[in-house]
Chain A
Amino acid sequence: MFTKRMRRLLNEPVLLAMIVLVWVLLALFVVYPLLMVGLKSFEPKPGTFGLAVYRTIFSKRYFLVPIFNTLKLGVTVACFGVLIGYVFAYSVAKANVPARNFFRTVATFPIVSPPFVVALAAILLFGRNGLFTRKLFGGAPPFEIYGFWGLVIVETLAYFPTAFLTLEGTLLSIGSDLEEASQSLGCSKWRTFWRVTFPLSLPGVLSAWLLVFSQSMADFGNPLVLGGRFHVLSVSAYLEITGSYRLPHGSALAIVLLIPTLIAFFVQRYWLSRKSFVTVTGKSFVSKAMELPKWAKVILTVVCLILTASILLFYGTVLFGSFTKLWGVNHSLTLDNYKYVFNFSWEYMKDTLFLASIATPICGVLGIMIAYLVARKDFFGRRIMEALSLLPFAVPGTVVGIGYLLAFNQEPLILTGTALIIILVFVFRELPVGVQNGVAALYQIDRSIEEASMDLGSNSYQTFWKVTLPLLMPAFFTALFNAFVRSMTAISAVIFVVSAKWNLITVRILGAVSNGDLAQAAALSCVLIGIIVVAMFLMRFVTINLSYQMKLRRVER
């Protein structure tokens, strides 16, 4: 069996080369850095190995507090995020509230925008010189935005969209015939929700909870800006390494951060996904919205309105802030901040655009290549290759950053300070989306379509180019878009590998926030958001013009 497979591979040299290349890349840029972090944490002093670092971490209050804080924050944000996400998803997917598309669009703002924009807005509104602090509370806010509750608010707003999207998918996949059957058997709508809809959506709820939990655990930008004296693991690890230069302690903290997120990832991916009650039968069904009683609809609509209003308020504040002279003191409008952006920060912007533009196509092509190998070819270690390429989903950026810092600062590969190391971080951080979308798309394409192509006389390469690839185009574009946007807004991993020569706009914004140049930070954020919006329209344009699905849709009309 094994030898047969090997022999078949040897007959296809291009395929074999591809497999070897992918293995080498994954080993070098996914596994090796992580191993280095683990190794470093067991090396208290150069050359000596032992558990000394962990002993320190688990005995000193200084280290224990961030561990406890991170978990507390993660659990709180996950609970709030899922609760809000559920209400939102139910309203949009099942309750037929008015202006659903509007709610949906606004709810996805935080996903594509730089992660710390919400934190910046929170400071602009509730900080010491905040608009609300001054105007509403007369300088004495009822709560401190720097710290636990500030982070809970900001991260909930930033990460509930993940829960929303997950739960929307789950709720849509619950056929309305089940709800109708329940009503037909005598249950009211209220009871139907609790007896049918809710239990069926539970796997989705858990899934969403774990996703938000991981995101909050891994968050770096928001806690750095808003944490104050409330330390979390990602920030502590960063400060250990860049501030105190204690690499082993930083690495150990990173490992402590990695373990819960890894567990969450594997539980979510390999256990929960199988738990799901919802099975795709291939039979198409329409998920009709149930007509809810008026009062229920009003409540849901109001909740959605409050949420979207606060998102819009936060983003509007940043936009407004970018045009003010000195936030909190002088709110007269000016373009000075944008002049400042174009005069002094343009280099950062150019570098970021340049590096992201190089990384994006590489990431997309590599992702689709791995997806093709995993979904269509039979070779030894196929499953492991898939798991490894998806691993960066689960690893917090801080851990990756420390790993790259440790791994490529020494022989055999010295990359520190180069543009290449930043590009590599971008490529391998965003690889999973391409792989996942590609695999999903390939599983949907019936093998018989490709077999038909071969049957009609094309060889396997022609088949790939003429049949498979065109069908994969939408997944490819999504991967490209995702890689570009997330690279433009990345912070947690790249902050460890930027250099004086190659620096990034997000790092610059964080610097501006910590210097108190809030208006400049707002202007920089707005320019960054502007670039993303342009990319979004470009992406739409390309998808509409190049993918066969859109062509078909137009023909059908």
Chain B
Amino acid sequence: MRNYYVEVRDLVKLFKDPATRSTVRAVDGISFGVEKGKLVTLLGPSGCGKTTTLRLIGGFEIPTSGEILIDNVVVNDLPPNRRPTAMVFQSYALFPHLNVFENVAYGLKARKMQRQVIREKVMNVLAIVGLVGLEMRYPSQLSGGQQQRVALARALVVEPKVLLLDEPLSNLDAKLREQMRVELRKIQMNLGITSIYVTHDQLEAMTLSDHVIVMKDGKIVQTDTPEMLYRFPANVFVASFIGRASFVEGRLIEQRENECLVELRNGKKINVETRPGAAFVPGQEVLLVLRPEGGRFVASKEGLLSGEVITRVYTGSTFYFEIKTDLGQVSVEIHSHDVRAVPQVGETVGVSFERSSMALVGRE
């Protein structure tokens, strides 16, 4: 077994819903680990239990059962202030009565550090997040992006063993969010700080993380690196949640070491790459996952599928198509710089997909 820095074992959190008086299984027996210095993202739709998991790790909720270990110490019974964690809140939760310096120094003062040391550490961390010169400002005088940086600096400065981030970028506008995403990842890698990140934005999860944990209804659906998640989704939910995908029904004919032969309803057979050790059995009904960005147009008889173009959208860098085929609707996206002919709406086309843009999932 690997040596994890943060480890969660069979974690369960039940809530009583006061309105219906029923029990909600917010976190339903999950286990995972985070290696030292890595950033792991909890990803899932709202209500999947990702924020509750983070709050359990931070100590703001008490688990119904299960264990949380940080650096091989069980922290279940420690209050938030005695855990080696620091949280960046979705709302930032900056203290409105304290200025930037005081906000950042807050945790150091709580640790009774010397004035000179506090000053040094605060200025250091402000330099890291790029806020030098704004020490005397109050949170209300800062822009959203600056507030975000203060929140991050405040959590970083106490040098936590684990940094917890609860949808920290969700209050920023799109452009700034992209910028902060890159910056956040840079800071995290430079400091080598173990981080757990919660988001519902799959793009954010993909670009930031070493590992992504996809959650649904309080359970973990898949844990993997971003590449593996995209390339080999565990089921339909993951395939459609991570990136875009069209699905085509088929039957598995033969399983080899790293690929499977699948027969589609239109009689065509195709080899699809699978993850080593994937649990498929010959004869099984499957869904072929087709990533639009791997699609290309061919003569209508040569393609894997053929059908009529019903939608064409120009986005600048790409053309996006929806094609109505005999096996269902399929999306294709091609670069607008592609010199080959771009079909019109109403045209009948053949469609093929790159080997690396296809995957298999079981039909549920």
Residue numbers of A with Cβ under 8 A of B are: 175, 177-178, 180-189, 191-192, 195-196, 199-200, 277-279, 283, 285
Contact = CB atoms under 8 A, between A and B. Distances in A.
A181 B79 CA distance: 12
B96 A177 contact: no
Given A181-B93, A183-B79, A283-B91, 12 more contacts: A180-B60, A180-B80, A180-B89, A184-B80, A184-B86, A185-B86, A185-B154, A186-B111, A187-B81, A195-B106, A199-B97, A278-B96
Given A184-B58, A191-B110, A175 B93 contact: yes
Contact of A183 (B80, B94, B111): B80
Contacts of B106: 182, 185, 187, 195
Interface string B98-109: 000000001100
Interface residues of B, number: 26
B155 interface: yes
A423 to B, nearest CB: 46
Contact of B107 (A178, A185, A188, A283): A185
B97 A200 contact: yes
Interface string B128-158: 0000000000001000000000000011001
5 contacts: A180-B58, A182-B106, A182-B110, A185-B106, A192-B81
Contacts of A184: 58-60, 80-81, 85-87, 155, 164
B95 A177 contact: no
Contacts of A283: 91
Nearest to B111: A186
B91 A177 contact: yes
Contact of B93 (A180, A186, A277): A180
Nearest to A182: B106
A191 B81 CA distance: 10
Interface of B: 58-60, 79-82, 85-87, 89, 91, 93-97, 106-107, 110-111, 140, 154-155, 158, 164
A178 B95 contact: yes
A186 B81 contact: yes
B86 to A, nearest CB: 6
A185 B58 CA distance: 11
A277 B107 CA distance: 21
A175 B91 contact: yes
A384 B243 CA distance: 59
Contacts of B158: 185-186
B103 to A, nearest CB: 9
B95 A180 contact: no
B107 A186 contact: yes
A185 B91 contact: no
Contacts of A188: 79, 81
B110 A185 contact: yes
Nearest to A291: B62
Contacts of A178: 93, 95
A186 B155 contact: no
A479 B110 CA distance: 47
Contacts of B82: 186
A185 B89 CA distance: 12
A188 B109 CA distance: 12
